[in-house]
A and B are shown apart, each in its own frame.
Chain A
Amino acid sequence: MKKLTPIIEWGTLLLSTGIVCFFLVVILWDLISKGASSLSWEFVSTLPKEGMTKGGIFPAITGTVLLTMITAIAAVPFGISCAIYLNEYAVDNWLTRIIRASIRNLAGVPSIIYGLFGLALFVQGLHMGTSLLAAGLTLGLLSLPYIIITTEEALRRIPASTREAALAIGATQFESIRDVVLPTALPGILTGVVLTLSRAAGETAPILFTGVAFYINNPSGYLNQEFMSLPYHLYMLSTQHQAIEEVRPLAYGTALVLIIVVFLLNLTAFYIRYKRSKNE
């Protein structure tokens, strides 16, 4: 029995890993086998035609890319600054503990609630209308808690001795954070930011009320106008279209493009991390 235990332990872990990988492969295989045929230059570079049954998804791609950029611009600077304040400057008292707990709770709020909040605040309250900007800011709010939590986690992993090294040669606290702590924590921060933005890029619920449109006849690109996006396009094609069977390959193609966009985003972060690790 004693001899068997390590094999069981090892086997359980291997099996779990295997199951996870199996489903990943199945999902990817399903997407690629059914979607690859609709991928073409025309598909990613032209407008939809004939009630979505023909043509491409160019506006949905630009819409998702621009939306993610607005989300990043809105959430990343604030999120990182907030995490720096909480981890480096704020004293540990009841107030900061409440703030931390609130941020953690915000991260658990369902995304549809953010959609309703964005509708009330940005679309109606601030008169932005249903627009790219309103949707981007809504997704920015959704992303903030994740960026704060992951950045704080990355900062907490930097040992006190690294900060002290800078302080001991006469750096101010700000200089030590700017020149030593942040560069050291950058790979961790970046990972959090990219995972968060990938998630935001795939969200449908928060943009549903705040700006996404089923069809527009130009490439999205105006902050004050409605836009198309990949996840919403996918949702419409696969459940709401009048000729669902006919557009199924297009739906799979859209899913594949969404995955590729997110993958490219991850690749950028991977590249930056790789370049940094070579310098260390």
Chain B
Amino acid sequence: MSNEHMKISAHHLNLWFGSKQVLKNINVDFPQNEVTALIGPSGCGKSTLLRSFNRMHDLSPDARIEGQIKLEEQDLYEKKLSVTQVRKRIGMVFQKANPFPKSIYENINYGLEINNIPKADRPGIIESALRESYIWDEVKDELDKPATRLSGGQQQRLCIARAVALRPEVILMDEPCSALDPLSTLKIEELIVKLKKDYTILIVTHNMQQAQRVADKTVFMYLGEIIEQGNTADIFNQPKVELTGNYVKGHFG
């Protein structure tokens, strides 16, 4: 991974919840405009790692973080950097689609509003975010409809549009398809592959086929440590570590 431009990285990252160490000496770089999958059995710390990039642990009083996380040259945990600034540059899509209980339009407008985007620019941004997320044609005539009436797959694409509307540099996805049917999953996967030309994407997934379909790079984690990282094809076909091989072949999980 050395001759690519590295967008976001963690160095000597350790994280504890109370007295339990969840992340152990994590060193990882994520290349720009590529999709990187984080895989590993439940409880291995992949979601925790993902959420430390946009400082989602800030509000958990028992979480303690050591080490460095950088976006380009910016230290994301620097004291004078506000967390809202971080989250404007690093968007997130969650495991279960979580649209606001507002209209489709308001779901995207709200993010623009709290980030002080001028009112005149908002309608255009909202339309292009919905287009970018391949949901515009399905919702353009009913933007006033409550977002909760959309199907699960549409809701998740709306959540992606909500993240995209703020023009982040990185999008974090925490098992975005785990609650969706195969067809909706396929649509989201196509969307992820298309989005990578504009964004750097990190995706946590339990689905080995999905990792192979969407990810350029794959990071395998186990018990809070990174066991192996590299090109997706290498991780799945010629893993260097036996544990990785056993996991991707489905011997445990």
Q: Does chain A bind chain B?
A: yes
Q: State the A residues within 8 Å of B (CB).
A: 91, 159, 161-162, 164-173, 175, 179-180, 183-184, 279-280
Instruction: Provide the residues of chain B in CB contact with A280, threshold 8 Å.
Output: 101, 146, 148
Q: Is the CB of A169 within 8 A of B111?
A: yes
Smallest CB-CB separation from A279: which chain B residue? B146
Asked if B84 is at the interface of the complex by the 8 Å CB criterion, the answer is yes
Which positions 126-162 of chain B face chain A at CB distance < 8 Å?
A: 146, 148, 159, 162
Interface string of B79-94 (1 = CB under 8 A from A): 0000011011001101
Smallest CB-CB separation from B85: which chain A residue? A170
Q: Is the CB of A184 within 8 A of B101?
A: yes
Partner pick for B100 among A159, A170, A173, A180, CB 8 A cutoff: A180
B14 to chain A, nearest CB (A): 23
Q: Is the CB of A183 within 8 A of B101?
A: yes
Asked if B114 is at the interface of the complex by the 8 Å CB criterion, the answer is yes
Q: Is the CB of B101 within 8 A of A169?
A: no
Instruction: Provide the residues of chain B in CB contact with A168, threshold 8 Å.
Output: 54, 56, 87, 91-92, 94, 163
Instruction: Provide the residues of chain A in CB contact with B84, threshold 8 Å.
Output: 170-172
Q: Is the CB of A169 within 8 A of B162?
A: yes
How far, in angstroms, from A170 to B84 measured CA to CA in the complex?
A: 4
Main secondary structure of the interface of A (DSSP, over half): helix
Asked if B40 is at the interface of the complex by the 8 Å CB criterion, the answer is no
B214 to chain A, nearest CB (A): 21
Q: Is the CB of A175 within 8 A of B163?
A: no
Give 28 pairs: A residue, B residue, CB < 8 Å, sorted on A. Answer: A159-B98, A164-B56, A164-B92, A164-B94, A165-B98, A165-B100, A165-B162, A167-B56, A167-B59, A168-B56, A168-B92, A168-B94, A168-B163, A169-B111, A169-B115, A170-B85, A170-B87, A170-B114, A170-B115, A171-B84, A171-B111, A172-B84, A179-B110, A180-B100, A180-B101, A279-B103, A280-B101, A280-B148
Instruction: Provide the residues of chain B in CB contact with A161, threshold 8 Å.
Output: 94-96, 98
A84 to chain B, nearest CB (A): 15
Asked if B61 is at the interface of the complex by the 8 Å CB criterion, the answer is yes
Partner pick for B87 among A159, A169, A279, CB 8 A cutoff: A169
Partner pick for A162 among B98, B146, B166, CB 8 A cutoff: B98
Extra inter-chain contacts (20) besides given A175-B114, A280-B101, CB under 8 Å? A91-B61, A161-B94, A161-B95, A161-B96, A164-B92, A164-B94, A165-B100, A165-B159, A168-B56, A168-B163, A169-B88, A169-B110, A169-B162, A170-B88, A170-B115, A171-B84, A171-B111, A172-B84, A180-B100, A279-B146
How far, in angstroms, from A88 to B184 measured CA to CA in the complex?
A: 34
A276 to chain B, nearest CB (A): 8
Q: Is the CB of B99 within 8 A of A171?
A: no
Instruction: Provide the residues of chain A in CB contact with B54, threshold 8 Å.
Output: 168
Instruction: Provide the residues of chain B in CB contact with A165, threshold 8 Å.
Output: 94, 98-100, 159, 162
Instruction: Provide the residues of chain A in CB contact with B96, threshold 8 Å.
Output: 161
Smallest CB-CB separation from B110: which chain A residue? A179
How far, in angstroms, from A91 to B18 measured CA to CA in the complex?
A: 14
Instruction: Provide the residues of chain B in CB contact with A279, threshold 8 Å.
Output: 101, 103, 146
Smallest CB-CB separation from B116: which chain A residue? A170
Choose among B85, B95, B146 the residue with the greatest number of A CB atoms under 10 Å from its CB: B146
Q: Is the CB of B111 within 8 A of A170?
A: yes
Which positions 219-243 of chain B face chain A at CB distance < 8 Å?
A: none
Instruction: Provide the residues of chain A in CB contact with B159, threshold 8 Å.
Output: 165
Instruction: Provide the residues of chain B in CB contact with A166, threshold 8 Å.
Output: 100, 110
How far, in angstroms, from A168 to B59 measured CA to CA in the complex?
A: 12
How far, in angstroms, from A233 to B92 measured CA to CA in the complex?
A: 60
Instruction: Provide the residues of chain B in CB contact with A184, threshold 8 Å.
Output: 101
Instruction: Provide the residues of chain B in CB contact with A173, threshold 8 Å.
Output: 59
Smallest CB-CB separation from B51: which chain A residue? A164
How far, in angstroms, from A101 to B85 measured CA to CA in the complex?
A: 39
How far, in angstroms, from A168 to B98 measured CA to CA in the complex?
A: 11
Interface string of B109-124 (1 = CB under 8 A from A): 0110011000000000
Choose among A169, A183, A280 the residue with the greatest number of B CB atoms under 10 Å from its CB: A169
A94 to chain B, nearest CB (A): 14
How far, in angstroms, from A172 to B82 measured CA to CA in the complex?
A: 10
How far, in angstroms, from A267 to B159 measured CA to CA in the complex?
A: 36
Instruction: Provide the residues of chain A in CB contact with B61, threshold 8 Å.
Output: 91
Instruction: Provide the residues of chain B in CB contact with A180, threshold 8 Å.
Output: 100-101
Choose among B56, B59, B115, B159 the residue with the greatest number of A CB atoms under 10 Å from its CB: B59
